[in-house]
């Protein structure tokens, strides 16, 4: 269920069970981390037992968020696994999946989920594949927006810490309220969060203005690879496997680099092709309004939003670039007719 009935069904399910795991997608962004933390707060307010679990560690840009130290990481011999790395340590009755459209996007978390546990979903992505109970509203700017609605549905009183998590979710998924997904409702919610004590300048500084030196050197090397098709409608950047290691940063520092390709005048679709293995390339897509990169990513088994999506192409970077750029040009021709 995707409307008011879905919101009510999720609220009822949260009241029904006692032990929960809360999780989200691989390569967690501000909406994923903020939403996991906000859902954890909701469940604690309902006097539930809860563990927060992500496929990867919280990116440095979001370690300022209150409560992030409570998030466990799925991984070999990590705190979320038993000695064999196969079974969950904790028999949760329900799993809450936020900001994630399908089980494959949970990465290593999948094998840790208790068999038979109910799955509850709150999400704003297109083509969500999880069953009921769920609250999915694709016109929402961020999953954090839906959690704000859920908090009101449950009659809970937000505190400043959780408001900061929700504001970060909204800020990052709207590109600082610049993207087309920003609505009047989004801004009304953001204003309410500020009334609760959120400092927009402090959040923006932590998210955007505090970076390790290696991140800037990574950006410089990535920008040196910038290419544009002869027609000027597709631009892309490339990263090889060793770039992150050379500059001493992790994959979270690649977030946002793809936007440099999209900002070029005349470009309709921008991409970042990042090698993550000898025969696997991770692609981030960004587009201008009117060009659906979620559909484009879907051709390679990925997905996301209309103007921001991602996928994995099982090819080395050079071959993935050829396939991806050709697909992007075809997608543009479908819209423009030439």
Any idea what the CATH number is for the domain that residue 201 is in?
3.90.1640.10
Same domain for 131 and 267? Answer: no
283 and 144 share a domain? no
Residues 94 and 148 in one domain: yes
Rounded CA gap, 267 and 232, in Å? 6
Judgement on whether residues 174 and 260 belong to the same structural domain of the protein = no
Domain boundary among 175, 207, 239: 207
Give the per-residue pLDDT at 251.
86
Please say if the pLDDT value at position 78 is more than 60: no
Q: Distance between CA 156 and CA 134 in Å, rounded?
A: 20
pLDDT tens profile 253-295:
898 899 999 999 999 999 999 999 889 999 999 999 999 999 9
CATH number, residue 235: 3.10.310.30
C-alpha 40/C-alpha 70 separation (Å) is 9
Could you list the residue range(s) of the whole structural domain that residue 264 is in?
Answer: 213-336
Pair type for strands 71-73 and 94-98: unpaired
Total structural domains within the chain: 2
- Taken as a whole, the chain contains a residue count of 338
The mean pLDDT of the chain is 92
The answer to whether residues 253 and 191 belong to one domain is: no
258 φ, ψ (degrees, to nearest 5) = -60, -25
pLDDT at 220 over 80: yes
By C-alpha distance, which of 57, 35, 31, 105 is closest to 252?
A: 57
The predicted model scores a pTM of 0.88
Co-location of 177 and 323 in the same domain: no
Q: How confident is the model at residue 305 (pLDDT cuts 50, 70, 90)?
A: confident
Structure tokens at 173: 């998924």
- Which is nearest to 20 in space by CA: 50, 63, 46, 61? 50
Question: How confident is the model at residue 2, as a pLDDT?
Answer: 62
Residues 177 and 273 in one domain: no
Q: What would the mean pLDDT of 10-32 be, rounded to a whole number? A: 95
pLDDT at residue 83 greater than cutoff 60: no
Question: Which of 155, 182, 207 is at the close of a domain?
Answer: 207
Of 160, 188, 207, which residue sits at a domain end? 207
201 and 309 together in one domain: no
pLDDT of residue 154: 97
Q: Does 15 share its domain with 145?
A: yes
Q: How large a percentage of the chain has pLDDT more than 70? A: 94
Residues 142 and 232 in one domain: no
3: which residues sit within 8 A by CB, 6+ positions away? 137
Pair 96, 221 in one domain: no
256-271 burial, b for 16+ CB within 10 Å, e for fewer?
bbbebbbeeeebbbbb
Q: Which pLDDT belongs to residue 26?
A: 87
228 and 179, same domain (yes or no): no
Q: How far apart are CA 183 and CA 185, in angstroms?
A: 5
Residue range 30-74, pLDDT digits in tens = 999 999 999 999 999 999 999 999 999 999 899 999 999 999 998
For the beta carbon of residue 84, count every other beta carbon within 10 angstroms: 7
Residue pLDDT, tens place only, 100-121: 988 888 989 988 888 889 999 9
């Amino acid at each position: 269920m995707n409307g008011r009935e879905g919101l009510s069904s999720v609220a009822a399910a949260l009241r029904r069970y006692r032990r929960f795991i809360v999780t989200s997608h691989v390569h967690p962004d501000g909406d994923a981390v903020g939403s996991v933390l906000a859902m954890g707060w909701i469940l604690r307010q309902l006097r539930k037992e809860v563990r927060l679990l992500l496929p990867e560690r919280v990116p440095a840009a979001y370690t300022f968020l209150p409560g992030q130290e409570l998030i466990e990481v799925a991984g070999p011999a990590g705190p979320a696994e038993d000695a064999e790395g196969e079974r969950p340590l904790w028999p949760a009755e329900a799993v809450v999946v936020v900001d994630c459209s399908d089980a494959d996007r949970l990465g290593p978390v999948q094998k840790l989920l208790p068999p038979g546990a109910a799955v509850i979903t709150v999400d704003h992505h297109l083509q969500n594949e999880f069953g009921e109970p769920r609250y999915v509203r694709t016109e929402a700017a961020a999953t954090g927006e839906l959690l704000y609605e859920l908090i009101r549905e449950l009659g809970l009183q937000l505190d400043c810490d959780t408001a900061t998590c929700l504001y970060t979710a909204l800020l990052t998924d709207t590109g600082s309220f610049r993207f087309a997904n920003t609505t009047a409702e989004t801004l009304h919610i953001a204003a309410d969060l500020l009334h609760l004590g959120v400092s927009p300048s402090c959040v923006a500084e932590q998210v955007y203005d505090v970076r390790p030196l290696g991140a800037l050197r990574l950006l410089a090397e990535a920008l040196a690879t910038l290419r544009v098709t002869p027609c000027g409608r597709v631009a892309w950047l490339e990263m090889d496997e060793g770039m992150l290691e050379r500059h001493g940063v992790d994959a979270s520092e690649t977030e946002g680099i793809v936007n440099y390709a999209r900002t070029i005048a005349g470009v309709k679709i921008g991409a970042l092709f990042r090698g993550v293995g000898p025969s696997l390339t991770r692609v981030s897509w960004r587009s201008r309004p009117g060009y659906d990169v979620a559909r484009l990513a879907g051709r390679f088994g990925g997905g996301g939003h209309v103007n921001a999506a991602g996928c994995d192409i099982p090819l080395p970077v050079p071959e993935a670039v050829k396939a991806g750029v050709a697909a992007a040009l075809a997608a543009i021709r479908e819209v423009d007719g030439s």
